[in-house]
Structure 1
Amino acid sequence: MFQIGDVLISDDVAKARFACDLGRCKGACCVLGAAGAPLKRSEIPVINKAWKTLRNDVRERAREVVADEGLIRNIENAPELNFTDGADCVFVVYEGDVAFCSIQKAYEEGRFNWPKPVSCHLYPLRITDMGSVKMINYEYIPSMCGPACDRGGREGIYLSDFLEDALIREFGSVWYKEFQATCRKMREGITLSI
């Protein structure tokens, strides 16, 4: 692990190659898993606003689940987005056989002013708040991340570069510059781990 400010980062974050490949993974991170996307409490009001704005964009099954169970689940006092039938996020929309985030799609189209929950934006990185520090781990799940790792390897794209916007959104540009400099040194073989 290495540390930037009050953030501990697993070494594989610096060295992993990664670039989403929707044509191959089909948006697996939005539809696979045993839990919904983790939410910050500060994101809940904007998630509720997103639902009011986008509920007619999503599938009927998602609207049924939200009507019956609610938009947000509270698991062990940690809020997360609800999902349908044990898989698809309630905000998923499909184009052919590819799952997309309706929030991100609306953001890119200028219909909503927020890109998506930061946990989704940062995926496959997961942040754990440990009180005085945060910890970033790379959650590699072959069935979801394999195509992205293949593409990152082919195109020479590092995970730390691919997630630049998300990392700046979460930690700021000053933190990100130090993080990137440290990642480069680690890739060059300079030992910086704590």
Structure 2
Amino acid sequence: MVEIGDTVVSFDLFEQRFCCDLSVCRGECCIEGDSGAPLEEEEVAELEKVLPTVWNDLSEECRRVIEKQGVAYRDADGDLVTSIVGDRECVFSYKDADGVCKCAVEKAYREGRTGFYKPISCHLYPVRLTKYEGFTAVNYHRWEVCACAEKLGRKIGMPVYKFLKEPLIRRFGEAWYKELEEAAEAYEAEFRSV
């Protein structure tokens, strides 16, 4: 692991290869799991604010869940997460013309209808953040639904930290990411010399 500011970053971000392959997985990460996507407290207000903008992009089932319990809830572990439909997909998911599950919030952002991209935990996936007293752990999360992303990442030689450059900068800033790149280069140089 490497320390950067108040974070401790797993070497998995340098070692593992990853690149989403939606043509294979069909957006399974927005569907599978035992609870919704982790949220920061302030993201609940952002999701509530964007709700009228994305409402018509959501299925009737998603809208019913939101009307009943809101955009978020606390899961069995006490973590704040997005609401889900039938213990499965996120209430902000929708199917595109090809049947791929995608994020309605991200769609609205890309279309210029909102300034909120999507929850940072979604943007950062497959990286998960765990906050401890004094530091935040930055870890790679392996999940069988992402096996095709690992395969494509290996094929094209894409390290996790490079695949996630945009969300890592969004969460930690340019200077932090530059330090991460330098640490990755030093790690790779040391690994190659062995």
TM-score range, shorter chain: over 0.9
CA shift digits 1:14-45 (9 cap, x unpaired): 11111111001111111110010111112121
Of 74-83 and 144-153, deviating more is 74-83
Quick one: distance in 2 between partners of 1:157 and 1:53? 34
Structure 2 counterpart SS, 1:189: helix
Q: What RMSD, in angstroms, separates the aligned Cα atoms of the two structures? A: 1.4
Aligned identity (percent) is: 35
Q: Please show how residues 30-69 of structure 1 align to structure 2 within 5 Å.
A: 30-69=30-69
Structure 1 counterpart SS, 2:66: helix
- Normalization by structure 1: what TM-score? 0.93
Amino acid at match of 1:69: Q
Structure 2 gap ranges (5+): none
Post-superposition offset of 1:188? 2.7
CA shift digits 1:128-177 (9 cap, x unpaired): 010210001111112x2111111111111111111001000110000100
Post-superposition offset of 1:118? 0.3
Quick one: distance in 2 between partners of 1:149 and 1:188? 23
Amino acid at match of 1:165: E
Structure 1 gap ranges (5+): none
Q: Please show how residues 44-193 of structure 1 align to structure 2 within 5 Å.
A: 44-75=44-75, 76-95=77-96, 96-142=98-144, 144-190=145-191
CA shift digits 1:84-122 (9 cap, x unpaired): 011110000101321000011111111111110000000
Quick one: distance in 1 between partners of 2:190 and 2:88? 40
Post-superposition offset of 1:74? 2.0
Kindly tell me the number of residue pairs found equivalent between the two proteins: 190
Tell me if structure 2 keeps the 8 A contact 1:15–1:186: no
Quick one: distance in 2 between partners of 1:17 and 1:32? 22
